[in-house]
């Protein structure tokens, strides 16, 4: 046992000697006993460049008092037969947009002169100029540059290349008149054989087909054709009017007892809103008890926030259907219509009755001043609205 012990001791001594002669540990060059060692430090990374989009939105917000911020959330209908009231709505009230209501045979040049005047009256934050240009019975503009459009159901039957050409022509004609927002296409799915009993959509052939696949293919083409000319599309009427019997413009308590949050027409909106063109979504004012028993979809946090925003992942602009004159909302006080829509997760309040604007703005302002949570919701809506305007080229770049 002794030879092994002597060998072990010798080995230990050799290790000690080698350790004493060893150089400094890797990464600790030049260190001496008792001397502090400086560790290598990472160079500070450069701050990310500010997002130009956010910079423009911040600049726009800085130039608006609270009332004018809220006014940016209102789109107001003005009759095409007399557009002069829009001037005061833009300059005096600072509304977010003008909806050209009714029918007109005016040329694109005549309309462009008016829309250009509106843009010049509010150069920092230009208003949306919206129109209903679907086809068939719903075609607001029919002047020389606006050819007659077939009904959506007939558009949906066109060969793909013909529909793409129609969509491109639609976008070009609207852009030539200074239109920046089309309240189209309809994304409602009307089951085959039920068209006649579906008063708002099927009875007029406003649907692109009887299945979600047919609707998304055709409506997606329309969205792309509009976007190619700088016109923002609006898919409507979420979560779908394809199964109701009555029209929310003309009847109260319009109800869809069948559609659930996982229905194919709900899924169709999800498909269309993922378009790179970033369309708006227009809400239905019908009630969907299989989704939310509480009341109209336009006032439902379940429908707008839980289903549209969270389930389908949509974070863009949600616009109401008309909440000024439509019969479906007449049981709700005027100011509460705007408050409830925004509180549910909406962005832009559409009213065809210009006389409701002061009441709506007052109600939203009062609620925001009294309720910090609602005030934060309004902040989010204003930022969403202005971000959409930035992307559409409606905010000043200066």
Quick check: 255 and 243 in contact, CB under 8 A? no
* Run means of pLDDT, 10 residues per run, the chain, 398 residues: 38 36 38 42 63 90 96 98 97 97 97 98 97 98 96 98 98 98 98 97 98 98 98 98 96 96 96 98 98 96 98 98 97 98 98 98 98 98 98 88
Pairing of strands 74-79, 349-351: parallel
Helix segments in the chain, DSSP class H: 2-21, 52-62, 66-71, 85-91, 108-121, 152-155, 160-176, 212-227, 264-273, 301, 334-343, 357-370, 372-391
Separation between Cα atoms, residue 285 and residue 238, nearest integer Å:
9
Quick check: 205 and 182 in contact, CB under 8 A? no
Quote the pLDDT of residue 45: 61
Q: Which two tokens stand for residue 115?
A: 């829309």
Quote the pLDDT of residue 173: 98
The verdict on pTM exceeding 0.95 is no
Quote the pLDDT of residue 51: 85
Quote the pLDDT of residue 398: 65
H-run or E-run covering 351: strand 349-351
* Collapsed DSSP state (helix, strand, coil) of residue 218: helix
Paired strand residues for 283: 238
Those residues with Cβ within 8 angstroms of residue 209's Cβ, 6 or more apart along the chain or in another chain: 153, 156, 189, 215, 218
Cα separations in angstroms, 206 against 148, 175, 322, 393: 15, 23, 18, 30
Quote the pLDDT of residue 35: 42
Quote the pLDDT of residue 396: 86
Quick check: 181 and 129 in contact, CB under 8 A? yes
Quick check: 338 and 363 in contact, CB under 8 A? yes
């Amino acid at each position: 046992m002794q030879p092994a012990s002597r060998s072990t001791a010798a080995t230990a001594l050799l290790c000690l000697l080698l350790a004493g002669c060893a150089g400094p540990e890797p990464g600790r060059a030049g260190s001496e006993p008792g001397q502090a060692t400086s560790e290598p430090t990472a160079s500070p990374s450069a701050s990310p460049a500010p997002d130009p989009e956010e910079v423009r939105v911040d600049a726009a917000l800085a130039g608006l008092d609270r009332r004018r911020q809220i006014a940016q959330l209102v789109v107001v209908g003005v009759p095409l037969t007399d557009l002069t009231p829009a001037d005061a709505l833009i300059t005096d009230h600072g509304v977010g947009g003008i909806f050209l209501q009714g029918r007109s045979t005016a040329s694109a040049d005549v309309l462009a002169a008016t829309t250009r005047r509106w843009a010049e009256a509010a150069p920092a934050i230009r208003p949306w100029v919206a129109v209903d240009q679907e086809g068939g019975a719903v075609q607001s503009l029919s002047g020389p540059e606006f050819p007659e459009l077939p009904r959506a159901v007939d558009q949906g039957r066109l060969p793909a290349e013909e529909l793409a050409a129609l969509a491109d022509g639609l976008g070009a004609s609207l852009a030539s008149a200074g239109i920046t927002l089309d309240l189209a296409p309809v994304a409602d799915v009307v089951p085959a054989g039920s068209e006649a009993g579906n008063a708002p959509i099927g009875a007029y052939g406003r649907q692109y087909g009887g299945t979600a696949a047919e609707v998304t293919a055709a409506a997606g083409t329309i969205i792309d054709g509009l976007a190619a000319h700088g016109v923002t599309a609006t898919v409507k009427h979420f979560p779908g009017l394809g199964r109701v019997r009555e029209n929310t413009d003309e009847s109260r308590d319009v109800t869809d007892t069948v559609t659930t949050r996982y229905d194919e027409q709900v899924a169709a909106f999800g498909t269309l809103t993922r378009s790179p063109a970033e369309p708006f979504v227009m809400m239905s004012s019908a009630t969907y008890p299989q989704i939310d028993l509480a009341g109209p979809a336009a006032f439902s946090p379940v429908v707008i926030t839980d289903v549209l925003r969270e389930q389908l992942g949509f974070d863009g602009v949600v616009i109401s259907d008309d909440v000024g004159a439509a019969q479906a909302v007449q049981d709700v006080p005027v100011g509460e219509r705007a408050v409830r829509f925004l509180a549910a997760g909406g962005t832009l309040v559409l009213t065809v009755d210009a006389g409701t604007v002061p009441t709506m703005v007052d109600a939203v302002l009062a609620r925001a001043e009294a309720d910090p949570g609602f005030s934060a919701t309004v902040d989010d809506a204003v930022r969403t609205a202005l971000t959409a305007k930035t992307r559409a080229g409606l905010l000043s770049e200066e």
